[in-house]
Amino acid sequence: MKKAVVVFSGGQDSTTCLVQALQEFDEVHAITFDYGQRHKLEIEVAQSLGTKLGITAHKVMDVGLLNELAVSSLTRDDIAVSNELQENGLPNSFVPGRNILFLTLAGIYAYQIGANTVITGVCETDFSGYPDCRNDFVKAMNTALVQGMDKELDIRTPLMWLNKAQTWALADQQGALELVRHQTLTCYNGIIGDGCGECPACQLRQAGLNEYLDNQDEIMKELVAKQ
């Protein structure tokens, strides 16, 4: 029996990965992290989508310690999300150590349930400037987990080399375009669906959707070629 653990936030990217995983694996387990993020609604959306999609199990983990250590606009209500980069070249929505912690805990969960695959929706092509979304980082984490647990484990990143338009095409390919568009939460300001339209996450998401809707056939061909 093939089992996978999906790191699941209830946003566009992780929902697209979850829908795809349901086509491939006999059991799909989602893991969602409560780290005191800006909007608790993110967790509720993830739980609702998990139920709707019929996943095998959904674990919501309290990792509030991350909030104590990582100061970011996504962990502090008094810091507005900015479109400008900080002096260190990173956006103020970057949560240092987040994906290090998330992938470690997802790997441990996979170990416990006998899964050999962890899936995460990070992307280097159209990413937000986060160093923990890069391919080199994921490979390093994969190596560390395999060595540290002495277990076969594959961290998959289905979106790593897709731009946002191609990610929308993938959702459409899986028959989930409308679900991803209207029922996921990507917006940094906590608005489900198309979001606020102003934060960096919404702007990236909308630009990709517009590009896909304007040229669906060509972008779908690009997606299939990459697959």
pLDDT over threshold 90, residue 131: no
| pLDDT confidence of residue 170 | 98
Q: Tell whether residue 123 is among the known ligand binding residues.
A: no
Asked which of 83-87, 119-123, 194-198 is least confident by mean pLDDT, the reply is 83-87
* Residue 17 among known ligand-binding residues: yes
What is the per-residue pLDDT across 207-216, written as a single tens digit (0 to 9) for each? 999 999 999 9
Q: Which strand (E) or helix (H) includes residue 11?
A: none
Tell me how far CA of residue 21 lies from CA of 79, 87, 98, in angstroms: 35, 38, 23
Element (H, E) at 159: none
The total number of structural domains that make up the chain:
1
13 annotated as belonging to a binding site for a ligand? yes
> In this structure, what CATH number is given to the domain that contains residue 191?
3.40.50.620
Q: Annotation-wise, does 9 bind a ligand?
A: yes
**Position 33: which residue type?**
F
Write out the DSSP string of 86-130: -TTSSBTT--TTHHHHHHHHHHHHHHHHT--EEE----STT--S-
Q: Which of 28-32, 132-136, 164-168, 213-217 has the lowest mean pLDDT?
A: 132-136
Residue 114, annotated ligand binder? no
Q: Which domain holds residue 123?
A: 3-226
Residue type, 172: D
Q: Is 194 marked within a binding site?
A: no
